[in-house]
Structure 1
Amino acid sequence: MKQAIHFGIERAKSAGHWLKRKMEPRGAVLLYHRVANESFDPQLLCVSPGNFASHLEKLRKWARPIRLKDMTADIGRGRLPRKAVALTFDDGYADNLAHAKPLLMKYDMPATFFVTAGYIGRDREFWWDELERLLLGPNTLPQTLSLRVGGENLRWDLGKSARYGHGAFRRRRAWHVLEKKDPTPRHAAYRFLQPRLLRLPDPDIQKILRRLRKIAQTGPSARPSHRCLTAEETIQLKADGAFEVGSHTLSHPFLSSLEDAAQREEIQGAKLRLEAILNHPVSSFSYPYGSPSSYTSQTVSRVKESGLARACANIQAPVSPGVDIFRLPRMIVRNWDGDEFAGRLKSFLR
């Protein structure tokens, strides 16, 4: 009898917790990277301007768009508005200013742009874009591609794909990393290298890219379509009360792979550099890559010590009262049309 009563009490408690979770207001922090029409997007970072406009139209009709700092203030007060949505952009691509900001202004939507401070004004692409250009773009590589990565000697037999012309590139430009098969050995090499490079220190990544550039007989200049913001463009991005520029470190490292002093420099150094450019305090941060393994509790401590007030991760979950504002989960957005975007967001917030 006592066991039955105890079981009944526990079931009632469990039901109560479930009901409380269902009744709690839920919001979302949306994660974008680029707003651009790119025919080849292996990392699925781009949302076309047309689809982005459709997303904003759906948000205006269905959700409650708010600034990220207002969302975290509401979380702190324990009264997050229902359907609250904050828009964020990671990395600091120039198309954030050219394409995203005009549409955000048209639809009266606030947003936070997390900028990789060390790339501002530099004529070089992010390493993942350059890796894509060198391995998957039209060029000629040796039949056997040899690279040393993380102390390991690696080799790929490229076969016929060693000579990779514009026709071959166009035929395979729909490929992306979520595809199960690799159409050529080049794609297999890219798929193998990308997750390994992201854990390396930036000097090691740049050494590998220099080796690839030498093999491909090409230079490091950024494609206009893939370049990062300049200092002046970063200022223009912020030049409106609805828009915030946040920090995304100096070099976009896998922070958990760095020693404590290097983490501190990446976090504090980026904040100071952005503040010098903007002549304005920087209070928001986004962890590069943002997966649970990409940062540690020590990283979070360094973010707090730097005077930052909130930090976004790349953990797929809604926000609700009680969430850790230094580990804010987000919903990554792909190049969906408006209806698919709205359906996914509504399901996400259930």
Structure 2
Amino acid sequence: MIKPIIQSFYQRISQQKNRLGNIFQPRAVVLLYHRINEFRPDPQLICTSPAHFEQHLKIIQEYYHPISLAQLGEGIQNKDLPRNSVVITFDDGFADNLWNAAPLLEKFGIPATIFVTSGFIDQPAEMISDVLEHILLGMDTPLKTLEIQVNDKMIRWNLDDPSPRPATWNVQSGSDPNLRQRCYREIHRLMRSLQPEERQNILSQLFVWANCTEKYRPERRIMNSEELRNISRSGLIEIGAHTISHPMLAKQSSSLQQQEISGSREQLEKILGHRVTSFAYPYGGSDAVDARTIGYVKAAGFRIACDNVPGTVGYRTDLFGLPRSLVRDWDNKTFYKQLKYAFLK
């Protein structure tokens, strides 16, 4: 009876010691942005307005220690991490990162890493979430029933709904005011774990159903080759890899994971003419990243990899599982509170 009590006592002491160590050790937060733009609707909540982004940079410059992702990695390895360090990252490689984010980063002299989905470079295409938003939320189609063939299964949605489609609706909303919004949510969730060919097949069916051509909106595209070379020449912005087609890696076969991970690096290095050493897992979390995935990233020669789960970074943080805090379109007061809270996780 006494032994378990003593063990429990020492366990609590050890936990308290670890908590105190986390408080007094230098910590860092890696921020995750996607778009610096004001597109509406924004069902995935990935747009941060240029005005709000500038406010964020002012707060980081005034109250924190901005460093690059490479400096973060070196700080972890050398146990020499500046206190209150903040790293800025972007996922996907949208062209507005060049148009709207880069000038502001240069204005404040704050470094950043942009993880690029290489298969969309120089292609007349949009990311899956954009195509779904355009067809399901932005267009009015005469057909009121949507049927999609997914492998051997036919899935049907009834879209006969005259209800308004609020532009403020997003996937975090507690309800779906319109049947099209529910359909968007369900198809996007379905497509995340499919293979690239299966996802493309669904998109092709959607274009046929909507009776529209596969035209992309230039303002929503991924940076092209020349833009990637230009943005990386500044020395302030690093380009990292984000797979070829943005699949949920852990749901894919070993061969496809290796192809997506190594292939994205090879494509980017061919464009940039130098080594690409950082990687970000699409979607992130336990559903998207497993031991196989991490092993393939290491084998591909990357030095550091970012996940998409919140948390702080310290000396014990795995370089191939860096947590990141997702940033929304917050005003300066909200961002200040959110960043302060992020350092407590």
Task: Give the TM-score normalised by the residue count of structure 2.
Answer: 0.95
The residue number in structure 2 matching 1:219 is 213
Map residues 237-316 of structure 1 onto 2, 5 A cutoff: 237-316=231-310
Equivalent residue, structure 2, for 1:62: 63
User: How far apart, CA to CA, are the structure 2 residues paired with 1:92 and 1:39?
Assistant: 19
Asked if 2 retains the 8 angstrom alpha-carbon contact of 1:33 and 1:45, the reply is yes
- Residue 173 of structure 1, aligned match among 142, 164, 167: 167
Separation of aligned partners in 2, 1:11 and 1:246: 41
Equivalent residue pairs, number: 343
Q: Is the 8 A contact 1:117 1:247 kept in 2?
A: yes
Distance 1:45 1:7, change over 3 A: closer
Counterpart of 1:338 in structure 2 is 332
- Following the alignment from structure 1 to structure 2, what is the Cα–Cα distance between the partners of residues 198 and 7? 43
Task: Look up the equivalent residue of 1:138 and give its one-letter code.
Answer: M
Equivalent residue runs for 1:152-231 within 5 Å: 152-161=153-162, 168=164, 172-231=166-225
Asked whether the 8 Å contact 1:150–1:200 carries over to 2, the reply is no
Question: What is the rounded CA distance, in whole Å, between the counterparts of 1:13 and 1:210 in structure 2?
Answer: 56
Question: Where does residue 119 of structure 2 map in the other structure?
Answer: 118
1:72–1:214 Cα change, 3 Å: same
Tell me which moved more, 252-261 or 279-288. 252-261
Whole-Å separation in 2 of the counterparts to 1:49 and 1:178:
23
Task: Tell whether the 8 Å contact from 1:292 to 1:315 is kept in structure 2 after alignment.
Answer: no
Instruction: Give CA-to-partner distance per residue, 1:28-72, whole Å, 9 cap, x none.
Output: 010000000112100000000000000000000001000101101
Return 5+ residue gaps in structure 1 as ranges.
none
Which residue is 2:88 aligned to? 87
One-letter identity of the residue aligned with 1:284: S
1: CA distance, partners of 2:249 / 2:94:
21
Identity of aligned residues (%): 38
Q: Does 1:108 align with 2:98?
A: no
Tell me how far 1:266 sits from its aligned partner. 0.8
Q: Match of 1:138?
A: 139
Which residues of structure 2 form unaligned runs of 5+?
A: none
Quote the Cα distance in structure 2 between the aligned partners of 1:152 and 1:10: 52
Contact 1:78/1:322 (<8 A) preserved: no
For residues 147-206 of structure 1, what are the alpha-carbon distances to aligned partners after superposition, in whole Å with 9 as ceiling and x for unaligned? 123532211222244xx9xxx55xx11111111111111111111111111111111111
How far apart are residue 18 of structure 1 and its match? 2.4
Change (3 A) 1:94 1:242: same
Secondary structure, counterpart of 1:328 in structure 2: coil
Q: Which residue of 2 aligns with 1:96?
A: 97
Partner of 2:149, secondary structure, is: strand
1:6 offset after TM fit, Å?
5.7
Q: How far 1:283 moved relative to its partner?
A: 0.3
Secondary structure of the 2:148 match is strand
Letter in structure 2 aligned against 1:290: G
CA distance in 1 between counterparts of 2:34 and 2:40 reads: 16
- For 2:331, the aligned partner's letter is D
- Give the Å deviation of 1:15: 2.6
Q: Which amino acid is 1:13 matched to?
A: S
How far, CA to CA, are the matches of 1:269 and 1:9 in structure 2? Answer: 49
Deviations 1:79-98 (CA, angstroms, capped at 9, x unpaired): 32111011000001110100
Residues 178 and 10 (structure 1 numbering): CA distance in 2 closer, same or farther, change over 3 Å? closer
8 Å CA contact 1:246–1:285 kept in 2: the answer is yes
Displacement of 1:224 after TM fit?
2.0
Map Cα deviations across residues 293-340 of structure 1 (whole Å, 9 max, x no partner). 102211111111111100000011111111001011000000001111
8 Å CA contact 1:141, 1:215 repeated in 2: no
